[in-house]
Amino acid sequence: MASGSAIRGSRVGAGPMGEAERGEAAPRVWVSFWCANGHETKPSFSEDAGIEIPETWDCPRCGYPAGQDRENPPAPVRNEPYKTHLAYVKERRSDEDGAAILEEALEALRARRGG
């Protein structure tokens, strides 16, 4: 077994990469976004890329949408619970309507069966 002062997992010439090896970083601009819970998020955007800064940004802490106006953050999106077909039908029809439609369908079925 060789002993020495080498750090396990390193190789000759390995070291921290600096600006000279990576190139210069593009100029950045940091924009603050606030969600309805008051969380601040500051993503950075390149100044030179010509990309428009979005109006909203998803908060990484709570998932709510965040906007650039601290006093008036965007409202959280309201998710409707899953509804079955029957739930939608019950919204459109009263119990009396349902009973009448059922009776009509049963009469048609009885007429087809001859009884």
* Residue 54: CATH number of its domain: 2.20.28.270
The predicted structure's pLDDT at residue 12: 65
Please check whether residues 60 and 85 belong to one and the same domain: no
Please check whether residues 57 and 87 belong to one and the same domain: no
- Within a domain: 50: yes
Read off the pTM: 0.52
The predicted structure's pLDDT at residue 51: 81
Please check whether residues 62 and 85 belong to one and the same domain: no
Full domain range(s) for residue 59: 26-67
What are the CB-based long-range contacts (under 8 Å, 24+) for 8-12?
none
- Within a domain: 61: yes
Tokens of 20: 């000279």
The predicted structure's pLDDT at residue 115: 63
92 SS3 class: helix
The predicted structure's pLDDT at residue 19: 57
- Within a domain: 4: no
Q: What per-residue string of b and e applies to 40-61 under the rule 16 or more CB within 10 Å gives b?
A: eeeeeeeeeeeeeeeeebebee
The predicted structure's pLDDT at residue 30: 93
Structural domains of the chain, count: 2
In this prediction, the residues of the chain whose per-residue pLDDT falls under 70 are 1-22, 115
